[in-house]
Chains A and B, each alone.
Chain A
């Protein structure tokens, strides 16, 4: 009898805990969104021309503000793409180190983009850039997957995937270096500037195309997100639970690759965002992908926007490559999160 009562009270305590933790999550969400808004506003105030709202009376004032805004858009798109891509790779490969760079996907996209930049000129190039980057990223992923599958029956192990990803990635960057060294001075300048990673606005056409692809891919991933939860327990378990596990994996990898290609074709090689933002978001909001995918996309976008604001302001008029800032700012933050909240984010 007393046993029964004990159990009931435990259940009750549980329920109250649930509501308590729900309101805590709501509070956390509110704080998170306010912080995002504040950071976006802040980044509109930062720039090489000075801190604060530029003088709207002068003709340059409006131009500065609109330039800042278009860099904000570029940052939002690139950061969202990188971060969401990282979330998917980490979920599908069940590995905390998975991200587009590690798997060679970014390297492959970079190689395709380099070829396009060196070969093409004008409007056609800027349109074909995301497409070529995507195709070469998919080809790279297939090569990596193929190498990793050698000798194993069926699914390659995560370790061989990452190992072959790192190798293929470095081969891609060697080829890029080779192409750059044989290119004309102008081509060399273009590629290197692009490779350093920057949120200089690209043509309106390319921005529109990228935005359309980005929203398509994000929506696709969000649709997959309940299945990503199930796949966290592995392909086999997901199969037993009635999923087309292999189909989900392939579609997920394609979406994640598309996102990485969009990011690379928009802003060049910007590292770290796809690795750290998903971890930070998971630490704050838990691993449920239905929440994690949109939150990580938002968080990644804002993170990159803020990093860019810092990059263009800190040593003005000299602009620091934004990839340097993401690594310098994100690294230590990541380490703190890692130590304090890893337990709730990822137990490797």
Chain B
């Protein structure tokens, strides 16, 4: 059988008044495919769905459903091609489940809204499919979240669409209903050749059922392909900005994606300590991540009242402190040098440098001299407010004597682990 193109994005950019969310996205979903759309929060998955359903008009490019520009398809016809199950539906009034599901037939019913026998059949069948027939007389608002989600699916099924898009609709469900809904979707996909586009956060679950993955990052489509092709640990870790592992079960072929928490659980306390040179709030995220990963953290020299100093106090991180708004003095540097002595590595955050805290770089220098790894956040030139760009010159010298540059948090965490793994 020839497979038609069910949905095609051609160089689509879309967004809201001042904010472009989708940037030049192109892809095709074939009829009968089961595709999972993945990507971190805020990467534009929901915007993509809204654009596909003509709720948002693209700023440029076109979206086609079965070869027709979706902007030019009549609403009633569009509803028979494409159904959308949103993250959550809310009914402000006390409609019964029956009445809610009947809404799925709204665009095909007559002017007076009298359902035909066909409408009744479709509604009943969708309710049987999603196992909500028992609930038909209940008030929608009284149902549990999972039941509401199945009713929403029944309503969209009653539209009898060729494509169904689900916007994280199954993430609220408990495990048995999630399996059940996925089973329903798979059946629709296999038996009725229904095309499914599922926005998902459960990569492992999606890997088991999807023909293809679309991976989005910051409004662009970074990768499209089979689960094995897309679920690559390096790419995933970069896109999700955290450490992710992918394992393939040798017998079933199933892919399993596990995150930082899982690897953390296996990892015991590291008994390694890291000294962080920070300031002006640049250290907060570093402290948090290092503590989560199991490092012992020290920090300094910071000025009192600095937001990093406050964060260090709150997180119980030992810190060497100087008076507020004062240049770092030699006695506190001496204390900080002791900390560096006890540390296994030194990390420089994206701290801006002025004449007052330039001396902190001597801490990194000392660490290098005693053979400890040093990691400098890149882009120091843009944060250098010293006279004659002294900090830039200093850091260039440090790089020449063996310091590493770091760019993203996940990259830094990977580098930090290396010496121990060997």
Contact = CB atoms under 8 A, between A and B. Distances in A.
A315 interface: no
A97 to B, nearest CB: 11
Interface residues of B, number: 45
A49 interface: no
A240 B53 contact: yes
Interface in A294-348: 343-348
Contacts of A244: 75
Contacts of A242: 75-80, 106-108, 159
B92 A96 contact: yes
Interface string A273-294: 0000000001000111010000
B90 A234 contact: yes
Interface stretch (A102-110, A195-203, A222-230, A250-258): A222-230
Interface in A201-249: 223, 225-227, 229-230, 232-234, 236-244
B139 A237 contact: no
A21 B134 contact: no
A229 B86 CA distance: 18
B112 A226 contact: yes
B76 to A, nearest CB: 4
B79 A241 contact: yes
B27 interface: no
B92 A94 contact: yes
A14 interface: yes
A287 B79 contact: no
B113 A225 contact: yes
Interface string A12-36: 0010011001000000000000000
Contact of B106 (A14, A154, A241, A286): A241
A347 B143 CA distance: 12
B56 to A, nearest CB: 9
B94 interface: yes
Nearest to B75: A242
Contacts of A290: 112-113
A243 B106 contact: yes
Given A153-B17, A226-B113, A242-B159, A232 B93 contact: yes
A239 B95 contact: no
A344 B138 CA distance: 10
B133 interface: yes
A239 B137 contact: no
A280 B113 CA distance: 24
Given A226-B109, A234-B90, A287-B95, A347 B141 contact: yes
A230 B93 contact: no
A287 B55 contact: no
B79 A240 contact: yes
Interface string B121-141: 000000000000110110101
A243 B92 contact: no
Given A153-B17, A242-B107, A243-B106, A233 B91 contact: yes
Interface in B37-58: 50, 53-55
A51 interface: no
A240 B106 contact: no
A234 B89 contact: yes
Given A240-B53, A290-B113, A343 B94 contact: yes
Interface string B74-114: 01111110111010011111111001100110111101110
B107 A243 contact: yes
Interface in B128-174: 133-134, 136-137, 139, 141-142, 155-156, 159
Given A10-B134, A153-B17, A240-B79, A346 B107 contact: no
Interface of B: 16-17, 50, 53-55, 75-80, 82-84, 86, 89-96, 99-100, 103-104, 106-109, 111-113, 133-134, 136-137, 139, 141-142, 155-156, 159
Given A91-B93, A243-B107, A286-B96, 11 more contacts: A7-B134, A227-B106, A229-B99, A236-B50, A237-B103, A239-B53, A240-B156, A241-B107, A241-B159, A287-B99, A347-B139
Pick the 4 closest A-B CB pairs, nearest first: A226-B113, A242-B79, A242-B107, A287-B93
